[in-house]
Amino acid sequence: MSTLWHGCLAGTDYFEMRSGSGYDYAVWVTTPPGYDPGTTRAPALYVLDGNWTVGMTAPLIVTQADPMQQIQPYLQVSVGYAGEEAQHWTRLRNRDLVPPGEPIGPEFVDAVEMSVRTGRMSREEADAYLAELRDTRADVFLAFLADELHPRIERDYGTAESGHGLFGYSYGGLFSLYAWLSGCPLFESVGAGSPGVVGEDSQIFAQLRELGDRLPAAKLHVTVNDRELFGDLAVYQNLAKNTATLLHRLPSRAVTSEVLRETHVTGLQASFLSYLRTCRSE
């Protein structure tokens, strides 16, 4: 990375990686101050939507030195999109973060159409955005994280053998729920911020029914925002309502949760901090 970016994201390396499925990803690896795998190996914390999230979450690695509430050591691996594809991350994430067969709710389509009417999206951008939701491959992306990216991080950065985590927000939060319910053995704690469970017919509920009483062993922490629930956008109201329904169907021993005083857009950093404090504090 350039000197400028090193000044903004201290201790951060950057590389690009092509998956076995032929997709290109950008990877930012942020190590804690003074990290020396020769003496103490830290687990990896994978953070999704790196093009958006790395600037707001990677600097929080300093929480490991907070004397008032110290966070367990971790190195952060932020995953996004590289090259020309980076400008299209908002639609490419649909392909990678949404479970296969996830229905596209009418409220979600209405929200996309509103973006066209208000000029935040062109018609072409909206059509491309919705097209990615018709062939979603969270299973493929999960396999990439666990079977391709993690071995490289383990080799190059000397990570610990256990204690790895996953954090995602919005559709990233939906992916986090999918990974947790899939029982991926890599992650011992999972953070799902405002997960995009937009419809009552979400694959998340189907996964939960299939599991029955056989819940994953990993810690799960879920956050929602009060202004999603009390605002006037149906897509966010449904997201908050369906997340609450999911929490009600899970036994209290299986999950922790917090309601944040944020909007869907402003809740990212607060959600990440909530996950750190709940699942990774010493």
pLDDT tens-digit map of 194-209: 999 999 999 999 999 9
pLDDT tens for 27-44 read 999 998 888 888 889 999
pLDDT of residue 282: 78
- Write the burial class of residue 205 (CB in 10 Å: 0-12 exposed, 13-18 middle, 19+ buried): middle
Length of the chain: 282
Please name which of 57, 90, 65 lies closest in space to residue 191, comparing C-alpha atoms: 57
User: What SS3 state is found at 16?
Assistant: strand
Q: What percent of the chain has pLDDT over 90?
A: 73
Q: Name the H helices within 32-190.
A: 50-57, 89-97, 106-117, 123-132, 138-143, 150-157, 171-182
For the chain, the domain total comes to 1
Confidence at 10, pLDDT banded by 50, 70, 90: confident
Q: Which of 7-21, 45-59, 115-129, 232-246 has the lowest mean pLDDT?
A: 115-129
Give the pLDDT of residue 2.
55
Mean pLDDT of 85-101: 93
- Region for 90 from its dihedrals, namely left if φ exceeds 0, alpha if ψ lies in -120 to 50, beta otherwise: alpha
Torsion sign over Cα 11, 17, 102, 131: positive
The alpha-helical segments, DSSP class H, found in 58-105 are 89-97
Per-residue tokens: 70: 């110290």
The chain-wide mean pLDDT, for the chain, equals 92
pLDDT at 131: 81
Statement: residue 162 has pLDDT above 80: yes
Residue bearing the bigger pLDDT, 4 or 191: 191
The CATH number assigned to the domain holding 101 equals 3.40.50.1820
Per-residue model confidence (pLDDT) at position 190:
98
Distance of CA 94 to the CA centre of its chain: 12
Helix 171-182, helix 89-97: angle, nearest 10:
20
Residue 4: its pLDDT value, please?
A: 53
The predicted model gives 129-156 an average pLDDT of 94
Residue owning tokens 């994978």: 46
| Per-residue confidence (pLDDT) for residue 108, from 0 to 100 | 77
Binning pLDDT at 50, 70 and 90, where does residue 6 land?
low
| Boundaries of domain holding 227 | 3-279
What's the half-sphere exposure (Cβ side, CA atoms, 13 Å) at 12? Answer: 27
Query: What pTM, to 2 d.p., does this model score?
Result: 0.94
**Alpha-carbon distance 92 to 85, whole Å?**
8
